[in-house]
Amino acid sequence: VGAAYGGAVNQRSQGAIVAARYGALAVIVRSMTTGIDDYPHTGAMRYVDTVAKIPACAISTKGAEHLSVVLKQHKDIRFFLNMNCQTLPDEVSYNVVGEIKGSEHPDEIIVVGGHLDSWDLGEGAHDDGAGVVQSMEILYLFKKLGIRPKRTVRIVAFMNEENGVRGANKYAELAAANKEKHMAAMESDSGGFSPMGFQLHGEAGKVAHIKQWSGLFTPYFIYEFGNGHGGTDIEPLAKQGTTLIGLSPNSQRYFDYHHCALDKLENVDERELEMGAAAMAAMVYLLDHYGI
Ligand SMILES: [Zn+2]
């Protein structure tokens, strides 16, 4: 689940830093998944200026188990690394934005989004095609049901979440420069699985106000209204006083697909994806109708 990933991912993100301090020539990390398979999982890692930038790679869980067995049998084993990854120069890219203007309070914005970019091993279907599609679906559902929001509902497909959150940082920077008032920001970036609840972050009174609606979601088994991380792409808006809301889907299988070749369209369940979109649309409706 998400908490398990959070507890283990420092081996990938900071393993090279720690290994280099011990004089390691390279670091080989077991992929961040409980699935036992042959798919290596990539992801962000970093260096600090004070230590050598040693090669770092992640191998599949099957590969890691094999390596562990071989290491126990042969203490003098040699490992050959042949890597061809490289960092290419930056290119100009864009967030993609669409909105329905509010009928009564057009200057009050409810922003909802996911991220456009993905790791190149897979298609990024769960991470984060799901979040982008679910966000778009909210506007579609509003139009289909003939709901004209009182406040502006804006959908943003953020660029470059995985490699530096630069689309989201630019969005928040422009929101501040243009003096836009973002009442709430919602994000879906935990996979297209059955919705279980929402993680909330913001002023205590506003968070409590949103929690009052939890009973409306309970019949759909969406009952986890916790205080937590809203989402990486909406996080930069927090210092403008925006209340953050992160969709919490069932994360038991997410890390089987996360950042690997298995993150492809056929591994997203259409019905579960739709239930997440419906939960998000219901939350946006409540935010728009009652305010916070
Ligand atoms: Zn993501």
pLDDT at 86: 85
Residues contacting 166, CB < 8 A, separation 6+:
159, 160
17-32 pLDDT, tens digit per residue, is: 999 999 999 999 999 9
pLDDT at 75 over 90: no
- Is the pTM for the entire model greater than 0.85? yes
The mean per-residue pLDDT over the stretch 252-275 comes to 97
pLDDT at 218: 97
| CA 174 / ligand 1 centre spacing (Å) | 22
| CA 180 / ligand 1 centre spacing (Å) | 25
Strand-pair partners of 198: 225, 247
pLDDT at 38 over 90: yes
Query: pLDDT class for 292, splitting at 50, 70, 90?
Result: very high
Q: Using N-to-C axis directions, what is the helix angle for 270-290 and 204-211, rounded to 10°? A: 120
| CA 232 / ligand 1 centre spacing (Å) | 8
* Mean pLDDT, all residues of the chain: 96
| CA 178 / ligand 1 centre spacing (Å) | 27
190-240 pLDDT, tens digit per residue, is: 999 999 999 999 999 999 999 999 999 999 999 999 999 899 999 999 999
User: Choosing from 137, 161, 180, 187, which is the catalytic residue?
Assistant: 161
Query: pLDDT class for 62, splitting at 50, 70, 90?
Result: very high
Percent of the chain with pLDDT over 90: 93
Residue 265 neighbours by CB distance under 10 Å? 14
| CA 136 / ligand 1 centre spacing (Å) | 16
Query: pLDDT class for 242, splitting at 50, 70, 90?
Result: very high
| CA 221 / ligand 1 centre spacing (Å) | 24
pLDDT at 85: 85
pLDDT at 203: 97
Residue 266 bears catalytic tag: no
80-112 pLDDT, tens digit per residue, is: 999 988 889 999 999 999 999 999 999 999 999
Q: How far is CA 230 from the centre of its chain?
A: 10
| CA 258 / ligand 1 centre spacing (Å) | 8
